[in-house]
Structure 1
Amino acid sequence: MFENYDLFSTLIQLRPDGVAEAADRREALRGTDGSLWSVGAFHAEDDRAVHSDVWERHTRGHEVLVALSGTFRVHLRDEGLVATLTAGRSFIVPPGRWHRLAVEEPGDLLSITPRAGTEHEKADVAATREPAKETAAP
């Protein structure tokens, strides 16, 4: 009856009625009304693992990013590098803000993401590459 789940291979889906359920990543639902959220973790060895060449935005809610280990850079399209996340540090991406991640040091990242209203756009990474100028958010 009681199970534990590997967040590296399973998503936990959060529903507005308070129900949390595990779902295979390939079969996870996309709540088209914006009510479904997912919690998941993944290991990122390099920029390919975080799709650093793609801008992403979530029009229907905030996205929470938490570094469990390693070091990640968070970029917002109109502001450049806004945070460097190390173990235990988090960043909340405001709704509708184009953002992308980059891996500074391989590690594990946890995300809490609205399932509906997510958009992607190819990024010109060479044009947005810059040295780290800010450390983890307070």
Structure 2
Amino acid sequence: MTVTPIDLFASFLRLHQGEIHAGNRPLGSGQDGWQLSAFHAKTNADVHSDHWEVNPEAETVVSCLIGIIRLYLRPERPGQQEEEIRLTAGTAAIVPRGRGHRIELDTPSNIMTVTLPRGSRLEKRSEA
């Protein structure tokens, strides 16, 4: 078997039952398997900062590879503030299963996420 480099910024890695596959499209929300994604983000639009992402099936790892980002967690109860976690190059945070989260950029950044996309959804954020 030949081992070749994989461009993480051009591919999604799918991890499923002891196997890893590279592809150029993300797993659909109904498909099984974990997904590792890496991407360049230059603006907040690149990270859909105006939406909450919710992954009801599993935790999500959000990692800042290069740059500085702010990871926000949706309040657990009405009237609470968003929780802000500042991630710098080489740091990561684990978002609890089912907890809405979003990202804002302080600088253009390279970001990597790992999650089980089954059932994940985006919900428009209403300004507080």
Provide the secondary structure at the position in 2 that maps to 1:49.
helix
Q: Helix, strand or coil: the match of 1:68?
A: strand
Give structure 1 stretches of 5+ with no counterpart.
128-138
Unaligned runs of 5+ in 2: 76-80
CA distance in 2, matches of 1:77, 1:31: 21
Letter in 2 for 1:83: I
Which residue is equivalent to 1:108? Answer: 110
Cα shift readout 1:72-113 (whole Å, capped 9, x = no counterpart): 111111041330000011010000001111011111001101
| Partner in structure 1 of residue 48 of structure 2 | 51
CA distance change for structure 1 residues 101 and 65 in 2, over 3 Å: closer, same or farther?
A: same
Quick check: 1:30–1:36 contact (8 Å CA) kept in 2?
Answer: no
Partner of 1:88: 90
CA-atom RMSD, angstroms? 1.5
Task: Using the aligned pairs only, state the percent identity.
Answer: 34
1:59 aligned partner, one-letter code: P
Structure having the higher helix fraction is 1
* TM-score, length-scaled by structure 1: 0.82
The aligned residue for residue 57 of structure 2 is: 60
User: 1:105 is paired with a residue of what secondary structure?
Assistant: coil
2:54 and 2:114 map into 1 onto residues whose CA distance is 13
The letter of the residue matching 2:30 is: T
Could you list the runs of 4 or more consecutive aligned residues of structure 1 that deviate by over 2 angstroms after TM superposition?
28-33
Counterparts of 1:1-138 in structure 2 under 5 Å? 1-15=2-16, 17-25=17-25, 28-30=26-28, 32=30, 35-78=32-75, 79-124=81-126, 126-127=127-128
Letter of the 1:112 partner, please give it: V
**Rounded Cα–Cα distance in structure 1 between residues aligned with 2:122 and 2:101:** 10
